[in-house]
């Protein structure tokens, strides 16, 4: 075992060194490599438990930190140097003033120099979003001190919060251009197409490549769920849903028929893959993301009315559907808990934990252990989270953590959608696509799990903050990107 650890460490160092050399010569490769490595998890066993770690992403982040963050912290670097100055959009430096499109200068921290009468809302800025993210990590670490599951809390901090925080900082400092955004989307789309193909093979063979728990669950279900190269069908569905929302942005704003037709074909392929995952939470998240895009592309009121109608119709179908539809509400064992795959019971248990200790909770990472201890059960559904992130936060961190979580969401949506820190990019399609993906991700975490434990959250926020700070290479104000190119795509 010791020999394997040494060999693995040496191999990791060699890979980091090679990646650092690549990034030193081509900094634009970092976001591409990060997006490519985002989905890949490797199982690591330690202390009797198996953790699925994003080893490839850790290696990319380590190389990016060596090339960019470390020299910057030491005062020897000025950030990513691609694209060259004057060739496209770039991030403003700290403290740098620039012309705004709202009648006042925009500071380097992403805030408008003049708040257009929005007194009291100046804290909804990109800079304060970063402070809230830091505060969330610090509070989580502090509340780990009284958790009964120190190992789980330490695992989340070491393997998720810290490396993903570095990922956020690296993506935030990238000089994003339209071409680079499209290249990253191309990488994500290519992966999604490949993963969907793997899922189709699994569905045809009725065999899974990963995760024996899903294999066992399929033996008792009346339908077969695939997870492709992921360890969980819902995480697989989440990835496909977010990619589909990003592609839909191109469909809605592209003036070229060829782009629309190609995107439509890809969407059909990915939708079929999403259906084979049987991830209800991913389908709901996809619908929300599409509704956000539709509201900005056409009319918000019409979109809201149509969405309410669809939700009402879905509710009627669920209630009226016979037992052989396997929605879980009727038939033998029919219940809300069965229909939600045990989520209702977990939410109920989480609320009871919150009621017992409402101010500061039971400590970071303690949900699973406390759920079992209070319910005196070893049930399989006593997982590490309630499948509803606000409930998990409330049970583990109390009102302190829940308040910070709400503030983080409010600030994040304000920055991503732009009303509190709008720049010359305005509500361009790339920014709307990022914002719609984030909205879908948040909803998915309310019906499944993993918010700050998911690197996708930090990736969307990092890109969103960078775009919120972006200005043209010239010193004069410029029309939003959509005015130059309706989809934000280079001709």
pLDDT for 418: 75
132: CB partners within 8 A, 6+ apart: 404, 407, 408, 411
pLDDT in tens, 457-475: 999 999 999 988 754 333 3
Of the pLDDT bands very low, low, confident and very high (cuts 50, 70, 90), residue 70 is confident
Question: Is pLDDT of 144 > 70?
Answer: yes
423 located within any domain: yes
Residue with tokens 């918010």: 451
- Average pLDDT, integer, range 477-486: 34
Which uninterrupted H or E stretch holds 470? strand 470-471
Tell which of 57, 82, 107 closes a domain.
Answer: 82
Nearest to 399, CA basis, from 444, 443, 355, 366: 355
Task: Say if residue 49 is in the same domain as residue 108.
Answer: no
491 located within any domain: no
Put residue 51 in one of left, alpha, beta given phi > 0 → left and psi -120 to 50 → alpha. Answer: beta
490 located within any domain: no
Tell which of 25, 55, 82 closes a domain.
Answer: 82
Task: Say if residue 207 is in the same domain as residue 277.
Answer: yes
* 3-class secondary-structure state, position 334: coil
pLDDT for 142: 96
Task: Say if residue 444 is in the same domain as residue 313.
Answer: no
406 or 77, higher pLDDT: 406
Task: Say if residue 200 is in the same domain as residue 105.
Answer: yes
Exposed, middle or buried: residue 293 (CB in 10 Å: 0-12, 13-18, 19+)?
buried
Question: Is pLDDT of 412 > 90?
Answer: yes
Tell which of 65, 82, 99 closes a domain.
Answer: 82
Which tokens is 170 given?
């690296």
206: CB partners within 8 A, 6+ apart: 218, 224
pLDDT in tens, 254-269: 888 898 999 999 999 9
For all residues of the chain together, what is the average pLDDT? 77
Task: Say if residue 173 is in the same domain as residue 305.
Answer: no
| Cβ–Cβ under 8 Å, residues 50 and 474 | no
Of the pLDDT bands very low, low, confident and very high (cuts 50, 70, 90), residue 108 is very low
pTM of the model: 0.81
Nearest to 467, CA basis, from 419, 434, 420: 434
Task: Say if residue 357 is in the same domain as residue 322.
Answer: no
Question: Is pLDDT of 61 > 90?
Answer: yes
Task: Say if residue 215 is in the same domain as residue 328.
Answer: no
* 3-class secondary-structure state, position 408: helix
pLDDT for 89: 31
| Cβ–Cβ under 8 Å, residues 353 and 369 | no
Task: Say if residue 324 is in the same domain as residue 473.
Answer: no
Question: Is pLDDT of 403 > 70?
Answer: yes
pLDDT for 369: 86
Of the pLDDT bands very low, low, confident and very high (cuts 50, 70, 90), residue 300 is confident
Which tokens is 332 given?
């033998």
88 located within any domain: yes
How many domains does one find in the chain?
Answer: 3
CA-based radius of gyration for the chain:
23
pLDDT for 217: 59
- Average pLDDT, integer, range 100-117: 37
Of the pLDDT bands very low, low, confident and very high (cuts 50, 70, 90), residue 99 is very low
489 located within any domain: no
318 or 300, higher pLDDT: 300
pLDDT > 90: percent of the chain: 43
pLDDT for 450: 87
Dihedral Cα 218, 369, 390, 292, nearest 10 deg: -30
Task: Say if residue 381 is in the same domain as residue 333.
Answer: no
pLDDT for 3: 80
Put residue 332 in one of left, alpha, beta given phi > 0 → left and psi -120 to 50 → alpha. Answer: beta
Which tokens is 316 given?
């009627």
Task: Say if residue 45 is in the same domain as residue 174.
Answer: no
Of the pLDDT bands very low, low, confident and very high (cuts 50, 70, 90), residue 21 is very high
400: CB partners within 8 A, 6+ apart: 139, 143, 359, 360, 361
Task: Say if residue 103 is in the same domain as residue 203.
Answer: yes
274 located within any domain: yes
Residue with tokens 């953790």: 51
CA-to-CA distance for 136 and 397, rounded, in angstroms? 10
Which tokens is 488 given?
């934000």
Residue 18, domain extent: 1-82
From the centroid of its chain, how far is CA 226?
21
207 located within any domain: yes
């Amino acid at each position: 075992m010791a020999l394997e650890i040494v060999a693995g460490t040496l191999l990791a160092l060699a890979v980091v060194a090679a990646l650092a050399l690549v990034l030193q010569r081509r900094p634009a490769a970092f976001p591409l490599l990060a997006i490519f490595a985002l989905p890949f998890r490797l199982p690591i066993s330690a202390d009797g438990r198996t953790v699925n770690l994003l080893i490839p992403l850790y290696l990319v982040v380590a190389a990016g930190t060596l090339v960019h963050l470390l020299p910057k912290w030491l005062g020897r670097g000025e950030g990513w140097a691609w694209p060259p100055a004057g060739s496209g959009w770039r991030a403003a430096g700290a403290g740098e003033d620039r012309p705004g499109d709202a009648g006042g200068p925009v500071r380097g921290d992403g805030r408008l120099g003049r708040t257009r009468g929005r007194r009291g809302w100046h804290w909804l800025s990109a800079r304060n979003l970063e402070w809230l993210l830091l505060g969330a990590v610090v509070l989580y670490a502090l509340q780990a001190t009284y958790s009964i599951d120190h190992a789980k809390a330490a695992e989340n901090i070491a393997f998720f919060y810290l490396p993903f925080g570095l990922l956020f900082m690296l993506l935030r400092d990238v000089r994003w251009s339209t071409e680079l955004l499209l290249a990253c989307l191309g990488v994500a789309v290519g992966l999604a197409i490949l993963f969907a193909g793997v899922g189709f093979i699994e569905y045809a063979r009725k065999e899974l490549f990963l995760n024996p728990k899903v294999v066992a669950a399929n033996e008792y279900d009346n339908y077969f769920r695939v997870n492709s190269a992921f360890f969980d069908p819902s995480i697989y569905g989440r990835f496909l849903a977010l990619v589909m929302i990003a592609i839909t942005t191109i469909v809605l704003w592209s003036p070229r028929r060829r782009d629309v037709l190609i995107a439509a074909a890809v969407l059909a392929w990915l939708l079929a893959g999403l259906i084979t995952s049987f991830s209800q939470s991913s389908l709901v998240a996809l619908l929300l993301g599409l509704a956000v895009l539709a509201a900005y592309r056409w009319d918000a009121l019409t979109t809201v009315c149509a969405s309410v109608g669809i939700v009402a119709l879905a509710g009627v179908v669920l209630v009226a559907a016979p037992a052989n539809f396997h929605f879980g509400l009727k038939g033998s064992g029919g219940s809300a808990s069965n229909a939600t795959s045990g989520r209702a019971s977990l939410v109920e248990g989480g609320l009871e934990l919150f009621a017992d200790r409402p101010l500061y909770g039971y400590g970071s990472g303690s949900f699973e252990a406390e759920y079992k201890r209070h319910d005196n059960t070893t049930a399989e559904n006593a997982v590490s989270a309630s499948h509803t992130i606000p409930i998990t936060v409330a049970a583990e961190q109390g009102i302190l953590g829940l308040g910070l979580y709400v503030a983080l969401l409010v600030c994040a949506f304000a920055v991503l959608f732009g009303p509190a820190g709008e720049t010359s990019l305005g509500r361009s399609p790339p920014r709307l696509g990022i914002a719609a993906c984030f909205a879908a991700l948040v909803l998915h975490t309310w019906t499944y799990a993993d918010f700050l434990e998911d690197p996708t959250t930090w990736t969307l926020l990092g890109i969103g903050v960078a775009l919120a700070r972006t200005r043209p290479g010239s010193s004069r104000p410029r029309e939003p990107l959509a005015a130059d190119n309706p989809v934000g795509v280079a001709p």
